[in-house]
Amino acid sequence: MRQNLDPAKRGTVTRRTVLASLGLGLGLAGCAALAPETRGRAPGIRSPGPAAGPTLTPRPQPAAVPPPAAFRQPVPVLARVAVPPGTLSALPGEGSLLAWTVDDGSNSEVVARYIRFAADTGIRLTFFVTGSYGAWTDNAESLRSLVASGQIQLANHTWSHADLSALPDGEVTAELGRNHDFLTDTFGVDARPYFRPPYGRHNGRVDALAADLGYTAPTLWYGSLSDSGLIGEQQLLEFADAWFLPQHIVIGHLNFEPVTNVFPQLRAMLVNRGLTTVTLNDVFTSASHP
């Protein structure tokens, strides 16, 4: 893996390199091949703003930084802020938080491994669930306690991974509504207000229809592991190197195994960078999660 963890260099050279490599095409396959979800940066997003945001309450520091193998992500104690209106693509303010979000779930074993990874490490994740994939029923039992504790948050990624911008109004509502009901019935949670439009495709009409259901926060991202299709482990680590940065919302996918083979390296990256993983509900208040 890349050893250069200097933040200044990471933010310039590496990011440009990654974006340039994306421009060459990556031979992606799968549900979102060559779609905006494969890009490092979501369309039409804003930069992480300087606005006041949640901050970590200082905790007593251990005498020495434990090695990654012994490190468990803390449960953050945050001053939460109201989720801002409009499209969400970064966490507000200054800090050391990372919202690691993962989507779809076309591979049941990958979903299972992510759940074990979270259970073993304390890492906090937001899953954008596409309920029509059998993985969500296959793994419901092992997921339920992590969801109940809030360590893994479930959010709405539509029932069948539809491009909402291409559907008539009634089908947009049905895609979000059916998935909402599935999440409530299966896990006993209210996924609102966060929905991620498949392929990042949404518009004012889609957002208004979603808001009518209480899904008022279209959630995109500020950096991608670019694994909606199959990529190699080394590539994946390079994307993580480029985007595992403070106050970023990063998107990954529950579709292909390579990411599960580099969990130790990804975890070490969090430790080395002093990043604390958070769910969206850890950071934001909303009507459903005051």
Using CB under 5 A as the criterion, which residues of the chain lie in contact with Zn ion when the complex forms?
Answer: 103-104, 198
Sign of CA dihedral 146, 148, 152, 154: positive
Closer by beta carbon to Zn ion, 103 or else 238: 103
- What is the Cα–Cα distance from 38 to 253, expressed in whole angstroms? 10
Min CB(38)–Zn ion separation in Å: 10
What is the smallest separation between the CB atom of 157 and Zn ion, expressed in angstroms? 6
Q: What is the closest distance, in whole angstroms, from the C-beta atom of residue 199 to Zn ion in the complex?
A: 7
Shortest distance, position 167 Cβ to Zn ion, whole Å? 15
* 104 vs 227 by CB, closer to Zn ion: 104
- For Zn ion, the closer of residues 36 and 193 by Cβ is 36
Nearest-approach distance from CB 126 to Zn ion, in angstroms:
13
Nearer to Zn ion, 104 or 241 (CB): 104
192, 156, 183, 152: which is closest to 172 by C-alpha?
A: 156
Q: Say which residues have a Cβ less than 8 Å from residue 141's Cβ, sequence separation at least 6.
A: none
- Helix ranges (H only) for the chain are 7-9, 15-23, 108-121, 135-138, 140-149, 169-187, 204-212, 233-243, 258-261, 263-273, 280-283
Q: How far is CA 45 from CA 14, 41, 204, 221, 249, in A?
A: 20, 8, 15, 8, 11
Q: Name the residue nearer to Zn ion (CB basis): 121 or 260.
A: 260
